[in-house]
Amino acid sequence: AGGSTTELGAIRGGGQNLLQRLAPSAIWAVLFVLTVVSSLISPVFFTTRNISTLLKQAASLGIVSVGQTLTILTGGIDLSVASVMALMSVVAASLMEGQDGLFLPVALYCLAIAAAIGLVNGLMVTKLKIPAFIATLGMILVVQGIRFVYTGGSPRGSIPPALRFIGGGMVGPVPAAVILWVVIVAVFVILMRRTTFGREMYAVGGNRSAAHLSGVNVNGIIIAA
């Protein structure tokens, strides 16, 4: 009976390892199938214009996903990202008023506000021991309320040409947003693989108790994420 249990455990372990190795390949396989099906349904799928449009749309989601990945790596979740983005977009547009000279200071100001909201989320999770799902779900309502009060329910301001270029401009055949996306991903990869902060983040996500016993500031990492 003991031998059978050991063999069963070995088989299960081997199956899990096989699934882990095949998972990345499965994602690429699904992407390939979707691409083939899309090209069959729409003859214009592989046109330069359509590919460029898809890349622009993917870039905005990809940039946001980098930040969300940090939270997920620590074993958390942040549901308030979309609401924070919406608030920052209307704040930025209203403050920039279409002027390129205000782009950088307003961008930094909006990043500071977003970071403050993230800090509140982190403190609720680490200090008040509120589950991340509940804390960030509540933050959605708070941020949406602030946005409606700020805008009065109608659009305000205008986007400067520099920001329009980042969102929709082209650098040769490549969308500017894609270049920004690649740069951010490269910085993220270096941060995760080459720095102590990155290793500590993986440690917290893997086992918070073990990370704490190893001297990692678990609460600090969660708040930073």
Per-residue pLDDT tens over the stretch 49-73: 888 888 898 998 999 999 899 999 8
Task: For residues 135 and 83, give the distance between their C-alpha atoms in angstroms, rounded to a whole number.
Answer: 14
pLDDT digits over 63-110, tens only? 999 989 999 989 899 999 999 999 999 999 999 988 989 999 999 999
Gap between the Cα atoms of 219 and 60, Å rounded = 29
Query: Per residue in 150-176, pLDDT tens?
Result: 988 887 788 899 889 988 888 888 999
Taking the C-alpha atoms of residue 34 and residue 80, their distance in angstroms, rounded to an integer, is 30
Length of the chain: 225
Query: How far is residue 189's CA from residue 129's CA, in Å, rounded to a whole number?
Result: 30
Question: What global pTM score does this model have?
Answer: 0.79
Q: How confident is the model at residue 11 (pLDDT cuts 50, 70, 90)?
A: low
How many CB atoms neighbour CB 162 within 10 A? 17
Note the pLDDT of residue 200.
Answer: 92
pLDDT over 80 at 24, yes or no: no
Whole-angstrom CA distances from 160 to 24, 110, 114, 150, 179 are 40, 15, 21, 20, 19
Closest listed residue to residue 220, CA positions, set 126, 138, 153, 145: 126
Mean pLDDT across the chain? 87
Rounded to the nearest 10°, the torsion over CA 189, 195, 201, 202 is: 70
